[in-house]
Structures are given as C-alpha cells and as structure tokens.
Amino acid sequence: MRIAAPTEIKDHEYRVGITPEAATRLVAAGHRVGIQGGAGLGSGFTDTEYTAAGATLLDDAAALYGWGELICKVKEPQPSELGLLRPDHILFSYLHLAADPDLTRKLLATSATCLDLATLQEADGSLPTLAPMSRIAGRLATLAGAYHLLKPQGGRGVLLPGLGGDHRGRVTILGGGNVGREAAEVAAGMGAEVRLVEKHDDRRGELQRHFGHTVELFDASEQTLARLLPDTHLLIGAVLVPGARTPVVVSRAQVASMLAGAVVVDVAIDQGGCVATSHPTTHSDPTYVVGGVVHYCVANMPSAASRTATLALMAATLPYLERLAAGGVAAALIPDTPLGHALNLHHGQIVHPAVAASVAAKPTD
C-alpha cells in the first residue's frame, strides 16, 4: 500500500498524519510511505528524519495525492484538496461530517472511501483515536478560557485561580467525558471553583470518586443551568454524541443570562457546537462577542500543542492504520469492527448511520 501524508493547510494546523517513527514501522511492514516536503515541520519533524525512516518526499499536494492510495491526514480536506481525491483513494482523517453537510456532499462526489478517526469505536464503546485529542482539547479549553478572561483579551478581568476563597473564578463544564474531565482537572489544579454537569448517574459517581471535594457534580437539567450560568466566569462545552451533530444544550437566552465578560469555550464546535451562539473560529481569529460574552470556538484546538498532539495521535492511530494498510478497503467493510465504525462514506454513499441521520436532518441548499 502507498500511504501518503500531506501538509495540513487548515488555518494554523501544525499536526501531521504520520511521524518518522510510524513511517519506519510501515516501511518495515512492506508498505511505501510518501510525505509532502515540510509536512512534519509544524510538529518538529524534519524531512531528513522522514527520508532516514525510508519515506519518499513529494514536492507538493498534487504529487502526493497523485502518488498515494491511503491518504493519512489530521483534519478534513480543505477546498483545494477536494479536487485531488479519487474514487480509489482511502481517506483516514478526522472529518466530523455530521456537522458539515456541504463537506459531506463534496466528499461523496469524489467517491473516495472516507474513514473518520472521530467515529472509530471499540467493542466496549470507547473512542480510542478521538480520546487523546479530546483530552488535549479539554486541557487547552481551561487554559484558553483563563487567558481570554483577562481584561486585555476582552474578558471580565478575572484571574481564574484568584487568591483563594471568594476571589476564585467559577468554571462550569458541560459533559463529563474525556474533554470535561481533563478541563476539570486543569481548572481544579489552578484553584478555580469547578462545577461539572453530567447527565449520566454512573459517570457522575465515577467523577465524584475521582475528584472528591475539588469538583462539584451536578445533574444536567434546565434548573441546573438556570442556577449555574448567571455567575459562571468560564463555560466549557464538552458534549459529545459520537458521529452525530452535538445537541444544543445552552440557548441564546441562557447565554444572555451570563455575566458581561464571561467566556464560552465550545470544544464541541467540530460537531456543530453545544451552545446556540457558537460558530467555528480559527487560531488566527479565535474569539467573538455575543451579548457581552466572549466566545472561543476554535475547531482545531489541539494543533496549538502540535508536538504533543501529533505524538499522542500517532500512538493511538497507528495500530488501526497498520490494519487498514494491510487489509485495504475490505478491512473497513467489516461491520461492528473499529474500522467499520470509522467508515463514513464509500462509493458515493453515506454508510455511517449517525452521519446519515444528521445530514438528512439538515436543510439542503
């Protein structure tokens, strides 16, 4: 199999789909690996490291896509990349198609086979290739929120750890999965007052045992939000429904009830966002203000920690990449397997049920 990793061109996307160490393993297994020149620089990997690993350097995206069979990316194809995809390509990347019907239609038109790292799922329900990026995004969410709470950034002027007692910033986190748990870890470690809202009883119990008295746990309800949002300094959206568009759990009216200069960090923005006033932003222009509330909705947050994120991403994805490279498309066509769950599009058809349902629910142009 010819496995190709292009340079990512999404705004401030510094991660790369294959590391030199992964290239070494893939070449040793009999595959050919192609890397677009400079693709690894944003994560600290030089072209020399790739050639030493046995990879072939390709001059540009057109050459790379023309050479490759299995395209190993990090983020969804950008407009200039869509025309480079062919029906015989296998695309292995984060796609988040349920939140983007337009991209779904354009990918369907290429007839490429598309696997989403965000929907790859093990038999126990875990999402092993999404989890490391979720954990990094959760940690970054608290850091980004703390920064944008400062007055020069348009925030309320609250120091999240404060000086203890009543001077601490108040953080409300919606969702107790990987994102929410990591966000709470960092916020509690900074000394903030942390309130975590989780709808599942069993998970709330696990989180309570883990955090003890450092984090306050709440059931998810309208009454809970009505109580917490008006005095929240930092709201972190960490809601996830695998493969589907994220439900909106905070309305415009609820955002309007928040303090002037409060900050919303909607980590769910890749899947559409869980706050009604959220829309995607970039690292180049990360925030906007609605009703006096600062919104940070960067759709590729982990790229800010590109070296850490790429290493974590490769550790999680390489076993599945090896399986896909060895078995080709047939490996993704086996139902109820991790790669089977990752399969979103094949031969111009949507094959993931949650993606199909979400796209069908969206109005067409």
Which phi and psi angles does 239 have, rounded to 5°?
-90, 140
Is the pLDDT at 362 greater than 80? The verdict is: no
pLDDT value, residue 133: 97
pLDDT digits (tens, 9 = 90+) for 20-41: 999 999 999 999 999 999 999 9
* Three-class secondary structure of residue 306 per DSSP: helix
Q: Is 270 a catalytic residue?
A: yes
Question: Residues 125-150: what's their mean pLDDT?
Answer: 97
Domain range annotation of the chain: 2-127+305-360, 131-303
Topology agreement, domain 2-127+305-360 and domain 131-303: yes
- 170 forms bridges with which residues in the sheet? 193
- Number of Cβ atoms within 10 Å of the Cβ of 261: 20
Question: Residues 258-283: what's their mean pLDDT?
Answer: 97
Q: Is 341 a catalytic residue?
A: no
B/e letters for 210-233, b = 16+ CB within 10 Å, e = fewer, are ebeeebebbebeeebbeebbeebb
> Catalytic pick from 100, 116, 266, 270?
270
Question: Residues 149-163: what's their mean pLDDT?
Answer: 96
Domain covering 2-127+305-360 in this structure, CATH number: 3.40.50.720
Integer angstrom CA distances of residue 17 from 5, 56, 63, 192, 301: 6, 15, 17, 36, 16
* Three-class secondary structure of residue 296 per DSSP: strand
Enter the pTM of the model.
0.94
Question: Which CATH number, 1.10.357.10, 3.40.50.720, 3.30.465.10, 3.40.50.300, labels domain 131-303?
Answer: 3.40.50.720
Is the pLDDT at 363 greater than 80? The verdict is: no
> Catalytic pick from 96, 233, 295, 341?
96
